[in-house]
Amino acid sequence: MTLATTITRNVWARNSALVNLALVGVGSLLIAVLAQVRIPLPFTPVPVTGQTFAVLLVAAALGARLGAASVILYIAQGALGLPFFAGGGSGFAWLFGPTGGYLAGFVVAAALVGFLAERGLDRRLSTSLVAFLAGTVVIYACGALWLSVFVGPANAIATGVAPFVIGDTIKALLAGVTLPGAWSLVRASKA
């Protein structure tokens, strides 16, 4: 091991706040990158994106506090002008537009999924799916509630929830399969 590697490891090990800040930053960037995976649907203002997958994965890997902080940082970065929202969008208007409720739901879902993961629901695929589906329901509830302001309650369910159930179930499965790799990266960063 080189002197530089030893010094770097000691700095990271002694400064867990720095490690946590780095993990939150990486989490927000993962969400931003996967938000660029966007498939618009002609019948709804809500696109299919990779954000849900990223939010679930980041929350389970980092826990409630750091997972929610990653999502809050992601939203702040997008609101302040970085092209982080779906399809490269940015600005405060996104927070108040038809998809703003989903953004708010990401924060609540990250806290919930992280909380459940901290209590062991992330240890097996079957139990992680419970946490991920609970987070997805929170995202739907917040998103549909806000979307209903724009399209009405019935249309909010028809255009903001129903078309996404199958895809989000697949995203939850993928997050469960990917989670052990995410744990490895988090553990390595804290070593």
CATH number at residue 30: 1.10.1760.20
Query: How high does pLDDT run on average in the chain?
Result: 90
CA 9/CA 79 separation, integer angstroms: 34
pTM: 0.88
> Do the Cβ atoms of 98 and 151 come closer than 8 Å?
yes
Query: What is the tens place of the pLDDT at every residue in 6-26?
Result: 555 555 555 688 889 999 999
30 is a domain residue? yes
Please give the angle made by the CA atoms of 187, 188 and 189, to the nearest 5 degrees. 90
User: What is the phi/psi pair of residue 43, to 5°?
Assistant: -100, 5
Distance from C-alpha of 46 to C-alpha of 165, rounded to nearest angstrom? 13
| Domain assignment of residue 129, given as a range | 16-186
- Residue 1 in any domain: the answer is no
The structural domain count of the chain equals 1
What secondary structure does DSSP assign to 76-88, as a single string?
HHHHTT-S-BGGG
Q: In this structure, is residue 136 part of a structural domain?
A: yes
pLDDT tens profile 151-190: 999 999 999 999 999 999 999 999 988 888 887 777 777 7
